[in-house]
Amino acid sequence: MLPDTKLHGILAAEFTPSDSLGWRPQWLTRYSSIYKNRGIVHSKGYTIRLSRSLRNPIINAATSEII
């Protein structure tokens, strides 16, 4: 699945650093849509379900990893 450090990096690029803390992946699925009767892939992507603990997270200062 998606490691916590990689997830934090993705979220930190889009949101403030404090808003990107405390998130954990619950599940991840890959999808693709195909044009009917043609067999041509129209699009591919991923859907992820995250949960967040708003309690005071303990962060490893060296790696920014949530413990």
pTM for the model: 0.59
- pLDDT tens per residue, range 8-59: 888 989 988 878 888 888 999 999 999 888 888 899 999 999 998 877 656 6
Q: Which residue range(s) make up the domain with 61?
A: 4-66
d(CA 66, CA 11): 13
Amino acid letter, 9: G
User: Which of the 8 DSSP states describes residue 66?
Assistant: E
Q: In total, how many domains does the chain have? A: 1
d(CA 36, CA 21): 41
